[in-house]
Amino acid sequence: MFDWFRGLDRDGRRTFWACAAGYGLDGMDVQIYSFVVPVLIAAWGITKPEAGQLGSVALLMSAIGGWLAGLVADRIGRVKALQITIVWFAVFTFLSGLTSNYTELLIARGLQGLGFGGEWACGAVLMGEVILGKHRGKAVGFVQSSWSFGWAIALIVSTVFLSQLPEAYAWRCVFFVGILPGFAVFFIRRAVPESKIYVTAAARPPIWAIFQPRFITITLRGCLLALGAQGGYYAIFVWLPTFLRTERHVSVIGSFNYIAVIIVGSFCGYITSAYLNDGIGRRKTFFVFAIGSLAIVLSYTQITISNDLMMVLGFPLGFFASGIFSGMGSLFTELYPTELRGSGQGFCYNSGRGVAAAFPALVGWASTTMPLGEAIGILAGTAYGLVILAALMLPETRGRELQSLTPAPGA
């Protein structure tokens, strides 16, 4: 089951742990915001549309950050770019706790998004380049699963602080914890080598190369896939704590159990999808998880069910909505040559995220005329329909070995 990991040398294992730690802590910083939303609505008197905009601005800026980080990774290396992005999002998450009004937090969240988008692009490319093609889906999927651990840390930290400290400054302490990812850079700097595939690549094409005729259709299809998966995910999970507290009347302590079940389901979904991506292929796995996500989100938000049943349904909700991401890193890594891999992967994943940034705001606006759960279901359901459409149009890349635009000198 873990032959792919045992087959890695020491540098490969260090790369795996660095990418997993970076992405997990990235997830912690991002998910912290969703737990703070109900408190900010009460403390600052902001509206749901304004809260949605706070969620959306980080995602929108991550689209820019992801592409920029990918470009940087293609020019100065994957490891250096990874360090920069981790420090960036950690610092601005911390600074979010020092804000005193809506505008200041909006700016801090936007700047945090630049680093948030870049970290995934750099880490996924780096991991994808150090693993054999037949194991890439599993390796990158396991890295992706670390998001659930970061989410769990955010849940624990926010539950403890928000339930034990006065809300007036408890939310600030939650943001302050976001500085922790910055310490991962010390390990990465000392222990993680640069990708050999990147080092031996000879060409450095122009920044717009992913839009040239040879790659433009792949780029657009990749963007659509990322848009659908992330639009559905953020429509659900940015608003989930607020949905539980305002429509299901679940307390901060009570919501811990609901979200914990979702996180466990999330981890299981990442791992299951990781193996399916190498077993049945990328496209079929996207179909399975998109259809499952569509079905479960409609059941969770559109049908009148008891709180106990809602807790049970949290497992498949987390399973499908999170597991759908496991194959993206490996797919995007395999779609582009080495010289364009960082920028191509960064642009596809994060431009999709940038457009998906509208979904939390749209949910907030829609909830002014309909129940929040209904708004979540409609927007998320539409997004997963886009995933199905994109999967129909993308090529199958399972097992593809990575290539460069030009051979290395002497090859």
Q: What is the pLDDT of residues 385-399, one digit of tens each?
A: 999 999 999 999 988
The closest of 393, 374, 48 to 221, measured between CA atoms, is: 393
d(CA 17, CA 188): 9
Q: How many CB atoms lie within 10 A of CB 326?
A: 30
Range of the domain at 65: 10-189+207-393
Q: Give the tens place of pLDDT for each residue, 94-142.
A: 999 899 888 999 999 888 888 877 887 888 888 888 888 888 889 989 9
| Tokens found for residue 106 | 């909006």
Q: Which of 301, 317, 227, 218 is nearest to 269 (CA)?
A: 317
Q: How confident is the model at residue 251 (pLDDT cuts 50, 70, 90)?
A: low
pLDDT in tens, 338-353: 888 888 888 898 888 8
Report whether 115 contacts 88 (CB < 8 A). yes
Neighbour-count burial of 213, counting CB atoms closer than 10 A to its CB (0-12 exposed, 13-18 middle, 19+ buried):
exposed
The torsion of the CA quartet 48, 153, 99, 350, rounded to 10 degrees, works out to -70
The domain that holds 67 is classified in CATH as: 1.20.1250.20
Confidence of residue 24 (pLDDT cuts 50, 70, 90): confident
In a domain, 408, yes or no: no
**Comparing 60 with 322, which gets the higher pLDDT?**
322
Structure tokens belonging to residue 250: 């679940």
- Mean pLDDT in residue range 196-223: 84
Q: Does some domain include residue 235? A: yes
Q: 6: buried, middle or exposed (CB in 10 Å: 19+, 13-18, 0-12)?
A: exposed
Neighbours of 353 (CB within 10 A): 29
Mean pLDDT of 150-170: 86
Please give the pLDDT value at position 268.
Answer: 95
Dihedral sign computed on CA atoms, order 23, 225, 49, 251? negative
Using CA atoms of 300, 306, 309, 311 in order, give the dihedral in degrees to the nearest 10: 70
pLDDT level of residue 410 (50, 70, 90 thresholds): very low
Which residues are CB-neighbours of 65 under 8 A, at least 6 positions away?
85, 88, 113, 114, 115, 116, 117, 118, 350
Cβ atoms of 35 and 156 closer than 8 Å: no
Please check whether residue 399 lies inside any domain of the structure.
no
235 pLDDT higher than 60 = yes
Mean predicted confidence (pLDDT) in 157-178 = 87
pLDDT given at position 203: 63
Residue 180 in any domain: the answer is yes
Query: What distance in Å separates the CA atoms of residue 231 and residue 213, rounded to the nearest whole number?
Result: 27
Structure confidence at residue 407 as a pLDDT band (50, 70, 90) = low
The answer as to whether 195 is a domain residue is no
Give the total number of structural domains in the chain: 1
Q: Does 196 have pLDDT greater than 70?
A: yes
Could you read off the pLDDT of 252-293 as tens digits, one per residue? 556 788 788 888 999 999 999 999 999 999 999 999 999 999
372 falls within a domain:
yes
Residue 359 within a domain: yes
Residue 124, domain member (yes or no): yes
Q: How many Å apart are CA 51 and CA 36, to the nearest integer?
A: 10
Q: Which of 374, 350, 353 is nearest to 56 (CA)?
A: 353
Residue 5 has pLDDT above 90, yes or no: no
Q: Answer whether residue 406 shows pLDDT above 50.
A: yes
CA 168 to chain centre: 29
